[in-house]
Amino acid sequence: MSNIEDLKTSVINGRRKDAKLLTTALLEEGTAPEVLLEDALIPAMSVVGEKFKNNEIFVPEMLVSARAMKESMKIIEPKLIEAGIKPKYKAIIGTVEGDRHDIGKNLVATMWKGAGFEVIDLGVNVTPTAFVDAIDEHEADIVGLSALLTTTMPAMRETVSAIKAAGKQLKIVIGGAPVTQSYADEIGADGYASDAASAVDLAKSVLPA
């Protein structure tokens, strides 16, 4: 009999093959896919995220865990869709127009996926219109905007304005080296995360429980 705790441990330790085998076994033994997600994978990534926040591990170790979760998700996801179970939150993320920096944006996307969000990554140099179109298409709950240059901060402001002008009610959060909480307040964003590690907490704090 497989143990859900073992699956959680395999993800924490980044053991991809074990995660895959345990996921398959647990499903065959009758464990519901949403239980695997809620009781093993998301808590595992939460542990990993905490370790990272506490400087116990580095990003490469965190990503090893994320890849183990991904292996498990490849098996679970079709079952969830089959059962009509959707992720609790849908997020869109991108680097604003004129800016092609994406390390921070990619890490936030990984952290959000680890928290069970469905994440649509629009990439870099994303125009305000492309953000609005993607929000329309995917009916997202939250959008994350990233900028690394002072000269692309105005594009962040324009993107927030475009989203609001289009009447979108979703939450907007921002991040990037030159960005601050006061800038978020100034441009009407709902929140600011100073680093990828705090992006999950931020998203959860602005989204309805």
Partner 1 sequence: MKYNALAIPDPDKLIYGVSPNPVTTRHGMVIGGGTVYPELNFTLPDIKIEAASMPEVRRHYQQIVNEALTRAAELEAPGVMLEFETLPPMTEFPDFGMDIVKILLEGIETAHEKYGLKATLRATPNDNREFVRPPLMRSGRYWEAMLELFERSAEAGAEFLSIESVGGKELHDDALVNGDLREVLFSLCVMGVRDMKFLWDHIVPIANKHGVYAAGDTACGFGNTAMVLAERKMIPRSFAAVVRAVTAVRSLVAYECGAVGPGKDCGYENPILKAITGFPMSMEGKTAACAHLSPMGNLAAATADLWSNESVQNIKLLGGMAPTCYMEQLIYDCRLFNEASKDGPEAALQLRNWLVKSDAGLDPQAMIITPESSVAIANAIVSSENHYAAGIAAAREAIRLMRESSESGCLKMEAKEAAWLDRMEDDLDDMPDTEEEFIEEMMEDVDTDKFVPEDYELPALALS
Q: Which residues bind partner 1 (CB under 8 A)?
A: 55-61, 63, 98, 100, 102-103, 106-107, 123-125, 149-151, 153-155, 178, 195-196
DSSP letters, 3-52, are -HHHHHHHHHTT-HHHHHHHHHHHHHTT--HHHHIIIIIHHHHHHHHHHH
Minimum CB distance to partner 1, residue 45 (Å): 16
Question: Which is closer to partner 1, CB of 78 or CB of 123?
Answer: 123
C-beta of 99 vs 190, nearer to partner 1: 99
Contacts of 37 (CB under 8 A, 6+ apart): 73, 76, 80, 116
What is residue 99's three-state secondary structure? Answer: coil
Return the ∠ at Cα 184 (arms to 194 and 101), rounded to 5°.
55
Q: How far is the CB of 56 from partner 1 (least distance, A)?
A: 8
Interstrand relation of 90-95 and 118-121 (parallel, antiparallel or unpaired): parallel
By beta-carbon proximity to partner 1, the closer residue of 21 and 59 is: 59
Cβ proximity to partner 1, 105 vs 171, nearer residue:
105
Shorter beta-carbon distance to partner 1: residue 178 or 188: 178
Q: How far is the CB of 91 from partner 1 (least distance, A)?
A: 19
Least distance CB 134 / partner 1 (angstroms)? 17
CB of 132: closest distance to partner 1 in angstroms?
Answer: 18
- Tokens of residue 159, six digits: 């993107």
Rg over alpha carbons for the chain, rounded to the nearest Å, is 18
Measure the CA–CA gap between 130 and 113, rounded to whole angstroms: 22
Q: Is residue 137 helix, strand or coil?
A: helix
Nearer to partner 1, 58 or 165 (CB): 58
Phi, psi of 2 (to 5 degrees): -80, 155
The least CB distance from residue 70 to partner 1, in Å, is 13
